[in-house]
């Protein structure tokens, strides 16, 4: 949740009983410092794009000086950073999209491993959560595994737990919250989006004049700009210098027919913009009810023989 999850959102989630993470993204130190101050005394963590952090490791040092509850690393090898994170007393959370990446996270002695399915908003890979999650759970028997991608309510949390997860990581659901830094129009579009209205591609990266490692694509809401360039990515790559400034200007003025709303398939399950605390409380309450019913249904079945 690069720049969308600021100090106010992270603090509210943590105070409600979750773990709020600053969307440190590519490592903009001034933004991170400002948002950490806005979090006040709340116990929060910070997430980084690992391949970008490798280019400016001093950003991690500044984050660790804040005594975070956790550092989350996604999209790259976490092992070069693991020792420093552990020495600082922070938990290391590693987000993975494949079983091979889960093994790298184990080598980094991650405290928590996040299995991210393709349904997730923003960057990711191709395997759906429903098949990826049990594989990662099986590959990491002594580590807590958390599920990410397409989860927006208590049903998703309950399902993840039944598949072996210890909890869930959510981005899109918290984008559509009162405390998120996102533009009001972006939040409105998330609420109004239905099934099939996201797409995974490299369009928004090219439009931002950015090159990501080729194995990662990004999921966002379909809009006029995305529909214009789908299937024409090579042409867009050759016109980045022309399209980039236009795209940046659209983001600045809140024109989301051009600028991308980076959101996942969970948008089809999101119908309001409540406080982040209400989201946490609602999801836990609904999941507990569902899991209780599940246990009662199992125990009430007549035993054979």
Write out pLDDT tens, residues 231-281: 999 999 999 999 999 999 999 999 999 999 999 999 999 999 999 999 999
pLDDT value for 302: 74
pLDDT band at 13 (very low <50, low <70, confident <90, very high): very high
pLDDT value for 85: 97
Q: Which of 227, 253, 279 is the last residue of a domain?
A: 253
pLDDT value for 78: 97
Q: Is 173 within 8 Å of 154 (Cβ atoms)? A: no
210-219, pLDDT tens digit by residue?
989 999 999 9
Residues 87 and 208 in one domain: no
Residues 98 and 210 in one domain: no
Residues 51 and 100 in one domain: yes
Tokens of 33: 């410092």
Does residue 286 lie in a domain region?
Answer: no
Across 176-189, b (16+ Cβ under 10 Å) vs e yields bbebbbbbeebbeb
Does residue 206 lie in a domain region?
Answer: yes
17-57, pLDDT tens digit by residue?
999 999 999 999 999 999 999 999 999 999 999 999 999 99
Tokens of 216: 């990662």
Strand order in the sheet with 198-201: 122-124, 217-221, 198-201
What's the CA gap between 221 and 296, in Å, rounded? Answer: 39
CA distances to 72, 108, 132, 199, 220 from 77, rounded to whole Å, are: 12, 9, 19, 26, 25
Q: Is 102 within 8 Å of 133 (Cβ atoms)? A: no
Tokens of 254: 């809140």
pLDDT at 304 over 80: no
pLDDT value for 173: 97
Say which residues have a Cβ less than 8 Å from residue 152's Cβ, sequence separation at least 6: 170, 172, 173, 266, 267, 269, 270
221 forms bridges with which residues in the sheet? 198
Nearest to 28 by CA among 66, 2, 54, 64: 2
pLDDT band at 298 (very low <50, low <70, confident <90, very high): confident
Does residue 258 lie in a domain region?
Answer: no
Q: Is 54 within 8 Å of 76 (Cβ atoms)? A: yes
160-214, pLDDT tens digit by residue?
999 999 999 999 999 999 999 999 999 999 999 999 999 999 999 999 999 899 9
Our measurement of the distance from residue 59's CA atom to the centroid of its chain's CA atoms, rounded to an integer in Å, reads: 20
pLDDT value for 294: 84
Q: Is 220 within 8 Å of 261 (Cβ atoms)? A: yes
Range of the domain at 66: 7-181
Tokens of 41: 């005394």
Q: Is pLDDT larger for residue 298 or for residue 126?
A: 126
Q: Is 121 within 8 Å of 264 (Cβ atoms)? A: yes
Average per-residue pLDDT for the chain: 95
Does residue 17 lie in a domain region?
Answer: yes
Q: Is 166 within 8 Å of 146 (Cβ atoms)? A: yes
Does residue 282 lie in a domain region?
Answer: no
Tokens of 38: 């806005």
Our measurement of the distance from residue 281's CA atom to the centroid of its chain's CA atoms, rounded to an integer in Å, reads: 19
pLDDT value for 160: 97
Does residue 297 lie in a domain region?
Answer: no
Does residue 171 lie in a domain region?
Answer: yes
Does residue 280 lie in a domain region?
Answer: no
Total domains in the fold of the chain = 2
pTM for the whole structure: 0.93
- Domain of residue 60, CATH code: 3.20.20.70
pLDDT value for 305: 59
What's the CA gap between 254 and 157, in Å, rounded? Answer: 32
Q: Which of 181, 213, 231 is the last residue of a domain?
A: 181
């Amino acid at each position: 949740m690069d720049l969308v999850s600021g100090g106010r959102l992270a603090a509210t989630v943590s105070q409600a009983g979750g773990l709020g993470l600053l969307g440190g993204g590519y490592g903009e130190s001034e933004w991170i410092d400002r948002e950490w101050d806005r979090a006040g005394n709340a116990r929060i963590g910070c997430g980084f794009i690992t391949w970008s952090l490798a280019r400016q490791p001093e950003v991690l040092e500044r984050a660790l000086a804040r005594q975070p509850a956790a550092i989350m690393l996604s999209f790259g090898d976490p092992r070069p950073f693991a020792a420093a994170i552990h020495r600082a007393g922070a938990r290391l959370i590693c987000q993975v999209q494949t079983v091979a990446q889960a093994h790298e996270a184990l080598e980094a002695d991650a405290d928590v491993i996040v299995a991210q399915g393709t349904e997730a908003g923003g960057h990711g890979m191709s395997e759906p959560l429903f098949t990826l999650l049990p594989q990662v759970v099986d590959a990491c028997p002594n580590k807590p595994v958390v599920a990410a991608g397409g989860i927006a309510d208590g049903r998703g949390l309950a399902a993840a737990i039944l598949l072996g997860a210890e909890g869930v990581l959510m981005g899109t659901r918290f984008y559509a919250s009162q405390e998120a830094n996102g533009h009001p129009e972006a939040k409105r579009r998330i609420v109004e989006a239905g099934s099939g209205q996201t797409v995974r591609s490299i369009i928004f990266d090219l439009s931002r004049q950015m090159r990501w490692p080729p194995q990662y694509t990004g999921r966002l809401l379909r809009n006029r700009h995305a529909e214009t360039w789908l299937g024409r990515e090579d042409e867009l790559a050759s016109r980045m210098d022309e399209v980039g400034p236009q795209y940046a200007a659209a983001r600045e003025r809140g024109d989301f027919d051009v600028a991308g709303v980076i959101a996942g398939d969970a948008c089809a399950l999101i119908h309001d913009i409540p406080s982040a605390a209400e989201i946490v409380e609602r999801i836990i309450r609904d999941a507990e009810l569902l899991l209780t019913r599940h246990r009662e249904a199992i125990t009430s079945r007549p035993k054979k023989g």
